Amino acid sequence: MEVQLENVENSICKGISLKVKSGEILVIAGRTGAGKTTLLNIIAGLIPYKGRILFDGKVADHLPPEKRQIGYVFQNQLLFPHMKVWENVAFPLKVKGFKGEALKEKVKEALQMMGIGELWDRYPSTLSGGEAQRVALARAIIGMPKLLLLDEPFSKVDLGTAKRLRLHLKKIQREMGITTLFVTHNLQEAFEMGDRIALLEEGRIQQIGTPEELLFSPANCSVSSYFGNPNVFWCLGQKGLSIGVAQVDLGSFSLIVPWSGKRILKVAFFPWNVYLSPDPPPGPKVNRFKGRIEEIERVSSLTKVKVQIGKSLITVDMEESNLREMELREGKEVYVIIPLRWIRTFEVEDGV
Amino acid sequence: MKKALLLFMLFPFYLWAQSLKISVEYNVHSLPAYVAFKKGLYEKNGLKVERIDSYITGVALVSAMTKGDVDVAYLCLAPAVLAFSNAGLKIKIVDQTHLYGFSVLVNPERIKNVEDLKKKDLRIAVLREGTMSDLLLNYALRKSLLHPQVLKNVRRMNPPLALMALKKGEVDLAFLPEHWGSLGEGWGFRVILSAPHIWPGMPGSVIVVKEELLKKEPSLYERLKGINQASIAFIKRNPQESEKLMLEALTESIPVEVFERGLFLPSQEVIRRAISRCEYREGLEVKKVEELIQFMNELGYLQKVPRPEELLLKGS
Amino acid sequence: MRKNLWGLIPIGIALLVWELFIRLNPHALWPGPGRVFLTFIGLLKSGELGIALFKSSIRVFLGLFLGTSFGFLLGLLMGTRKSVELWLSPLLSILYPIPALGWLPLLILWLGIGEKLPIALIFLCSFFPVLYNTLRGIKEVPQELIWASRVLGASKLRTLLQVVLPLAFPNILTGLRLEAGMAWRTVLASEMIAIPSGIGAMMWKAESLMRVDVIIVALGVLGLACFLSERVFIWLENRCLKWKSSWKM
């Protein structure tokens, strides 16, 4: 189902217009209070708004929530505490009139798809965070919704579980081809999940585009600072080293980067994915450089350290305690490590 | 020995020196007590009585007796039996003071004649279980003067509340001790039956004394009996003065349950009618005591069934 | 089972001490447990106790049933219609603090003495707590859960019946459990003051006749009735609210 918003607004969201293609995952990113959850609630028809919402070209404003054919995984799962797991998952089907063995079969299938068949008779209060999220997901998709809304569904689970759930979700979404809006404030999650990202700030859309577009061509400082002012460099030359890996010349230094085979235009890495060491770090000498600390800036709980490598300036985010432990200060020489796996490249077809 | 003799000789003075606590019911049944008090009969017989306390019903009086606040009581026979049997009070009956003294007061709009008393939807007000009014009601039921179903509509309350209930139309008739029945006539109600019509020979009130007092001073028994005889003789010879005495008494010592003086204070005319419905007479018959005990036992009122002799002094 | 048996030992000791004390200090107004037990048997055999308990029970049941039903319905209406809540809240907040027995004189005048009186009193005693517990139960259901239900395809009515009311149920049951005991106390008082039948009237009559043994029997029976009434609701809670123990709103 294609979803279109035309000038949708209320007290929090202001003049939002966007189009979500059928089968696409659009990530809605932004800081806390940006209006992400409000936007989802508007699309679900849960709160009043002005403007227009169209599903597959048809106006949907008059439709109550139960008629919009939406699956919604809330931030707090919101499983019905008085219903067992199977009853929670069965709920959307019961509403549609399913009953008896046919109903139970479908529920069994959905739980098995999520890998939680053994939770059948349990009450939500006895589930772990990850289990509850899977149940919520199963409940959201069992009714074959045309649109799936996910509000920070993995924020309450540990990193490992979140990663597994993301992969699982993406697989199901691709299989079922459900148009999905995924809200997150986690950048890594946004980059992993989204076909496109819509960045929301103070109720307005700052930019919609692919993760690379937002990273490499931020529309404004707001977008750029949201991504933590990443370190972005033009690629002056590249050399393929092996399948999936290339060496790029960034002027002051060269980097080994992931490579899909196309022409690399830009290279970026986030400040918090760069590590510093006062002494030569152990291990292979890949993406390790010597530089000098030019500036140390304290911004709220983080410390931004600017390191000069040749003519280039790299920004590194560090915790104050680490800084003190390493006795780093302005003017001191330091080793910079940029792990391969955190480097993102902006690639284009030859001839572009 | 000398000490004991001295104490024995001095005790009457002790008794005289200690005030005797006498309590009565707040109705015309107490007339003999007030005559004795106001005419100085107690003093003449060597008994110091400073005042007489009155209680709204005999059962209320018995409650006070259980607390030990009463030495001599003029109360209805049924509560006296209850006090002995259920409350375990060690008392002795000295003498009877009257027969009858109860009326059935009706709302003339609902009950025009005695036959109307048999209506099954009548609502009745009566004093609480164990009072003579209550026994009279049960006697009337036994004699089929009332329909058995009316028991479901019996409300228990003290006389002032019963009169108010009649006035508000909440009840159709009330079984009341005199003077309350006569007072109700002044409110537009009618005494359709009195005790003699329902229960011939119905016992009224008796004088009871704490047994320990009688043991300490056996002459108290005869003295109280003599005082009672003299009071009753006075009442018969001096009806008008007796009425005045009664009126005075009912005005002076009013229990809290009489919540509105203006409404419930009787006139001399009311007292006259009330007294006429009592038969002041001494000389309690043992047979009557026995019959009453049996009746109360049949009603399930008694924890243990005493013999009449246990209530009376030996040889009396 | 063993724990319950252990619990009976102190009761047994207390009864023994009571009986011993009475035998050493006999008085008609202080019957011992033996005497009380015999009176209990006597009242059972004569049917007086059974009839009194039956009459009181009917009044309690009817009053609770009516009070709960109306309280629940009005609480439901107020919980789902803001306008109704705004309109009725001021009036109800004035009436609610009046203790049920405070209505007795008024009800005697309006309803007269009869079966309607104790039932009306128990109605009042249970109506307000059930109303407020229903209202509070409904309002405490998180808005997001209601949204979850709507988004999953449930209509407003289905959401009310299958999500809101089951989640409000614990509050309603708690209110009922507390009021069950109160209903018995109310019926006792109304029977003592105004009605000539029931356990309360039996106690009042016994007071008039100075039958302390009968009063103690009635108190025991009353205590048992209150206890059993509360246990019924506790059983209901345990059966219907297995999910509640660890879930917090």
Residue B24 has pLDDT above 60, yes or no: yes
Joined together, the tokens standing for residue C224 give 């048992």
What region, left, alpha or beta, does residue A336 occupy, with left being phi > 0 and alpha being psi -120 to 50 degrees?
beta
Q: What is the ipTM of this complex?
A: 0.81
Residue A330 has pLDDT above 50, yes or no: yes
Using an 8 Å CB-CB cutoff, list chain B residues near C48.
Answer: 300
Using an 8 Å CB-CB cutoff, list chain A residues near C149.
Answer: 80, 91
Average pLDDT over residues C119-142: 92
Per-residue model confidence (pLDDT) at position C244? 72
- pLDDT bracket for residue A298 (50, 70, 90): confident
Joined together, the tokens standing for residue C168 give 């409000």
Joined together, the tokens standing for residue B62 give 């018995």
Give me the residue label for tokens 């329909």: B147
**What one-character DSSP code corresponds to residue A227?**
T
Joined together, the tokens standing for residue C88 give 């009725």
Q: Please indicate whether, in this complex, the C-beta atoms of A66 and C166 are within 8 angstroms of each other.
A: no
- pLDDT bracket for residue B4 (50, 70, 90): low
Q: Please indicate if any CB of chain B lies within 8 Å of the CB of C210.
A: yes
Give me the residue label for tokens 């209850």: B82
Joined together, the tokens standing for residue C21 give 């004390």
| Residue extents of the structural domains in chain C | 47-241
CATH code of the domain made up of C47-241:
1.10.3720.10
Interface test with B, best of C22, C35, C111, C208 (most B CBs within 10 A): C208
DSSP string, B202-261: -B-EEEEEEHHHHHH-THHHHHHHHHHHHHHHHHHH-HHHHHHHHHHHHHHS--TT---H
- Amino acid B81 reads V
Yes or no: say if A82 and C166 are a contact pair by the CB < 8 Å rule. yes
Residue C246 has pLDDT above 60, yes or no: no
Task: Select the more confidently predicted residue: C29 or C18.
Answer: C18
Set out the domains of chain B in order of their start, with CATH numbers.
13-100+202-311 (3.40.190.10), 102-198 (3.40.190.10)
Which of A73-77, A115-119, A247-251, B165-169 is predicted least confidently?
A: A73-77
Per-residue model confidence (pLDDT) at position C181? 84
Task: Select the more confidently predicted residue: B14 or B296.
Answer: B296
Phi then psi dihedrals of residue A23, to 5 deg: 80, 0
Average pLDDT over residues B2-17: 61
- Residue B297 neighbours by CB distance under 10 Å: 15
Residue B238 has pLDDT above 80, yes or no: yes
Average pLDDT over residues C192-212: 88
Which chains share 3+ C-beta pairs under 8 angstroms with B?
A: C
Per-residue model confidence (pLDDT) at position A139? 92
Yes or no: say if A246 and A234 are a contact pair by the CB < 8 Å rule. no
Q: Please indicate if any CB of chain B lies within 8 Å of the CB of C46.
A: yes
Mean pLDDT of chain C: 88
Measured distance CA(C226)–CA(B194) in Å, rounded: 45
Q: Please indicate if any CB of chain C lies within 8 Å of the CB of A135.
A: no
Which one of C148, C166, C247 has the shortest CB-CB distance to A72? C148
Per-residue model confidence (pLDDT) at position C248? 46
Interface test with B, best of C22, C30, C210 (most B CBs within 10 A): C210
- pLDDT bracket for residue A300 (50, 70, 90): low
DSSP string, A45-72: T-S--EEEEEETTEE-TT--GGGS-EEE
- Is beta strand B190-194 parallel, antiparallel or unpaired with respect to A344-348? unpaired
- pLDDT bracket for residue C65 (50, 70, 90): very high
Average pLDDT over residues B170-188: 94
Most confident of B51-65, B69-83, C113-127: B69-83
Residue C116 has pLDDT above 90, yes or no: no
Average pLDDT over residues A122-141: 89
Total-model pTM: 0.75
Task: Select the more confidently predicted residue: B5 or B212.
Answer: B212
Using an 8 Å CB-CB cutoff, list chain A residues near C170.
Answer: none
Output the CA torsion sign for B138, B142, B144, B145. negative
Which of A77-81, C132-136, C219-223 is predicted least confidently?
A: A77-81
Most confident of A337-351, B65-79, B90-104, C101-115: B90-104
Q: Please indicate whether, in this complex, the C-beta atoms of A123 and C243 are within 8 angstroms of each other.
A: yes
Q: Please indicate if any CB of chain A lies within 8 Å of the CB of C100.
A: no
A249-286 per-residue burial string, b: 16 or more CB within 10 A, e: under 16: ebeebbbbbbbeeeebebbbbbbbbbbbeeeeeeeeee
Residues A142-177 have pLDDT tens digits of 988 999 999 988 887 777 778 788 888 888 888 888
Classify residue C156 by burial, with Cβ atoms within 10 Å: 0-12, 13-18, 19+.
Answer: middle
Residues B161-171 have pLDDT tens digits of 999 999 988 89
Residues B93-150 have pLDDT tens digits of 999 999 999 999 999 999 999 999 999 999 999 999 999 999 999 999 999 999 999 9
Average pLDDT over residues A196-210: 90
**Is B touching A (3+ C-beta pairs, cut-off 8 A)?**
no
Yes or no: say if B209 and B60 are a contact pair by the CB < 8 Å rule. no
What share of chain A has pLDDT > 70, as a percent?
A: 99
Per-residue model confidence (pLDDT) at position B18? 67
Residues C189-201 have pLDDT tens digits of 888 877 888 999 9
Set out the domains of chain A in order of their start, with CATH numbers.
3-226 (3.40.50.300), 234-348 (2.40.50.100)
Shortest Cα distance, chain C CAs vs residue B199, angstroms: 22
Yes or no: say if A209 and A224 are a contact pair by the CB < 8 Å rule. no
Using an 8 Å CB-CB cutoff, list chain C residues near B128.
Answer: 204-205, 208
Count how many Cα atoms sit within 13 Å of the Cα of residue A307 in the half-sphere of its side chain: 31
Shortest Cα distance, chain C CAs vs residue B7, angstroms: 30
- Is beta strand A179-184 parallel, antiparallel or unpaired with respect to A147-151? parallel
Q: Nearest residue on chain C to A122, judged by CA atoms?
A: C243
Interface test with C, best of A69, A78, A128 (most C CBs within 10 A): A78
Joined together, the tokens standing for residue B162 give 């019963």
Average pLDDT over residues A121-145: 89
| CB pairs < 8 Å spanning A and C | 72
Measured distance CA(C139)–CA(B182) in Å, rounded: 63
Per-residue model confidence (pLDDT) at position B12? 58
Residue C152 has pLDDT above 50, yes or no: yes
Residue B212 has pLDDT above 60, yes or no: yes
Average pLDDT over residues B73-98: 93
Per-residue model confidence (pLDDT) at position B15? 52
Measured distance CA(B68)–CA(B88) in Å, rounded: 12
Q: Please indicate if any CB of chain C lies within 8 Å of the CB of B83.
A: yes
Measured distance CA(B240)–CA(B242) in Å, rounded: 5
Which chains share 3+ C-beta pairs under 8 angstroms with C?
A: A, B
Residues A19-67 have pLDDT tens digits of 999 999 999 998 888 889 999 999 999 999 999 999 999 999 999 998 8
Q: Please indicate if any CB of chain B lies within 8 Å of the CB of C208.
A: yes
Interface test with A, best of C145, C147, C149, C152 (most A CBs within 10 A): C152
Q: Nearest residue on chain C to A43, judged by CA atoms?
A: C151
Yes or no: say if A51 and A39 are a contact pair by the CB < 8 Å rule. no
Q: Please indicate if any CB of chain B lies within 8 Å of the CB of C55.
A: no
CA angle, corner A176, sides to A174 and A182, nearest 5? 60
Count how many Cα atoms sit within 13 Å of the Cα of residue A226 in the half-sphere of its side chain: 31
Average pLDDT over residues A215-230: 79
Measured distance CA(B46)–CA(C75) in Å, rounded: 75
Torsion of CA A313, A314, A318, A324, to 10 degrees: -40
Measured distance CA(B129)–CA(B217) in Å, rounded: 34
Q: Please indicate if any CB of chain B lies within 8 Å of the CB of C27.
A: yes
Longest dimension (CA), chain B: 74
Measured distance CA(B245)–CA(B120) in Å, rounded: 42
